[in-house]
């Protein structure tokens, strides 16, 4: 079985972002970019499944401008066997990501498609569910544990839901999206980073995959959230209780 993993290049999670003065978006020039943390977890899970002998190959896929190649190289250095880059401009909405993934699934025929549960830039939490819908595959979102039964072709997935953990079982092929606690992604070692340079990355464009990009959303503006007024430092518990009682009126 082959596993396909979608990875997204995003502004690094530790960067304090700034909104552009013309309100068209956030500043992404000269800002550290990395693989979306949930995508690292997705890739790690695919690698562990391969290392357990339950999969033969891990293919990493990324969509966007040419710099996504760097993200793919990171994935290859972690251990993915090969990469696919779909060259597109920066603003692919999840619906089109899902449509492109569907085409790639039809070409590569993986038994499992793993994505992160959300990208930390647009915070959408949509692509995995959407591609599952387009493929008519079952979905296991927000996964914190994945157990594959190769014989029965079934994946048992623990999902982090609002009031606890839900366990479901899915027939393969299936789509899984990863939550934070699924695993601890490995670091790429220097020799593996060198080896990754030789691994193949195939290139496509949306046109070659006959996916028409016709966005049905437009960004009107991007603004900063309202600032909180600055607070005060109190010196004792008594003062704190007094303030909460008489100034804030919350207790």
Partner 1 sequence: MATRIFLRGAITKRTVLFPPFLRSSISSSRNGSTLVVAEHENGTIKSASLSALLAAASLPDKDSSVSLLLAGSGPSLHEAASHAASSHPSISQVLVADSEAFKNPLAEPWAKLVHLVQQRGDYSHIIAASSSFGKNVMPRLAALLDVSPVTDVTGISDSHTFVRPIYAGNALSTVRYTGASPCILTIRSTSFPVSQKSVDSKSDKASISQVDLSTFNEDLDKSRFVSQTSRDDEGPDLGSARVVVTGGRALKSAEKFKLIEDLAKKLGAAVGATRAAVDAGFVANDLQIGQTGKIVAPELYLAFGVSGAIQHLAGMRDSKVIVAVNNDADAPIFQVADYGLVGDLFEVIPELLKKLPEKN
- Of 56, 80, 82, 84, nearest in space to 68 by CA: 84
Tokens describing residue 97: 């990501």
Among positions 80-119, residues that touch partner 1 (CB under 8 A) are 93-95, 98, 117-118
Burial class of residue 33 in the structure, from the number of CB atoms within 10 Å of its CB (0-12 exposed, 13-18 middle, 19+ buried)? middle
Q: Could you tell me which stretch among 61-69, 77-85, 189-197, 228-236 binds partner 1 (CB under 8 A)?
A: 228-236
Residue 22, interface with partner 1 (CB under 8 A)? no
Is the bond leading into 173 cis (omega within 30 degrees of zero)? yes
Tokens describing residue 94: 């999840």
Among 11, 76, 143, 176, binds partner 1 (CB under 8 A): 11
Q: Which is nearer to partner 1, 77 or 104 (CB)?
A: 104
Among 48, 87, 125, 195, binds partner 1 (CB under 8 A): 125
- What is the separation of C-alpha 6 from the centre of its chain, rounded to a whole number of angstroms? 7
Q: Could you tell me which stretch among 45-53, 68-76, 106-114, 220-228 binds partner 1 (CB under 8 A)?
A: 220-228
- The answer to whether the beta carbons of residues 88 and 64 sit under 8 Å apart is yes
Q: Which residue has tokens 């990875």?
A: 7
Work out how close the CB of 30 gets to partner 1 at its nearest, in angstroms, rounded to a whole number.
Answer: 17
Work out how close the CB of 211 gets to partner 1 at its nearest, in angstroms, rounded to a whole number.
Answer: 12
Site string for partner 1, 24-63 (x = CB under 8 A): --x-----------x-------------------------
Among positions 134-193, residues that touch partner 1 (CB under 8 A) are 134, 136-142, 144, 156, 159-171, 179-181
Work out how close the CB of 124 gets to partner 1 at its nearest, in angstroms, rounded to a whole number.
Answer: 6
CA distances from 139 to 55, 69, 109, 120, 174 (A): 19, 28, 17, 21, 6
197 CB contacts (<8 Å, ≥6 apart)?
A: 73
Q: How far apart are CA 55 and CA 70, in angstroms?
A: 25
Q: Which is nearer to partner 1, 13 or 52 (CB)?
A: 13
Tokens describing residue 183: 């695993």
Among 121, 153, 193, 195, binds partner 1 (CB under 8 A): 121
Among 151, 191, 212, 248, binds partner 1 (CB under 8 A): 248
Residue 12, interface with partner 1 (CB under 8 A)? no
CA torsion angle for 33, 37, 43, 45 (degrees, to 10)?
A: 170
What is the total count of residues that contact partner 1 (CB under 8 A)?
A: 83
Among 21, 89, 218, 246, binds partner 1 (CB under 8 A): 218
Q: Could you tell me which stretch among 66-74, 80-88, 199-207, 211-219 binds partner 1 (CB under 8 A)?
A: 211-219
Tokens describing residue 139: 């979905």
239 CB contacts (<8 Å, ≥6 apart)?
A: none
């Amino acid at each position: 079985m082959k596993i396909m993993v979608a990875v997204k290049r995003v502004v690094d999670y530790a960067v304090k972002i700034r909104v552009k003065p013309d309100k068209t978006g956030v500043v992404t020039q000269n800002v550290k970019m990395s693989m979306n943390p949930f995508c690292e977890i997705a890739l790690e899970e695919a690698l562990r499944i391969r290392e357990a002998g339950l999969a033969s190959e891990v293919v990493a896929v990324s969509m966007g401008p040419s710099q996504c190649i760097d993200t793919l190289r990171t994935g290859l250095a972690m251990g993915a066997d090969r990469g696919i880059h779909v060259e597109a401009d920066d603003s692919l909405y999840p619906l089109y990501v899902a449509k492109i993934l569907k085409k790639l699934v039809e070409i590569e025929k993986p038994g499992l498609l793993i994505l992160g549960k959300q990208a930390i830039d647009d915070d959408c939490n949509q692509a995995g569910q959407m591609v599952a819908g387009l493929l008519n595959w079952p979905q296991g979102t927000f996964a914190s544990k994945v157990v594959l039964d190769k014989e029965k072709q079934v994946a048992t997935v623990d999902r982090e839901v609002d009031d606890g953990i839900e366990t479901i079982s899915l027939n393969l092929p299936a789509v899984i999206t990863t939550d934070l606690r699924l695993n601890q992604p490995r670091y790429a070692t220097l020799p593996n980073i060198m080896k990754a340079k030789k691994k193949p990355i195939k290139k496509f464009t949306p046109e070659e995959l006959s996916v028409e990009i016709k966005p049905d959303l437009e960004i009107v503006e991007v603004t900063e959230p309202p600032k909180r007024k600055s607070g005060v430092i109190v010196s004792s518990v008594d003062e704190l209780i007094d303030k909460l009682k008489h100034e804030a009126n919350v207790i």
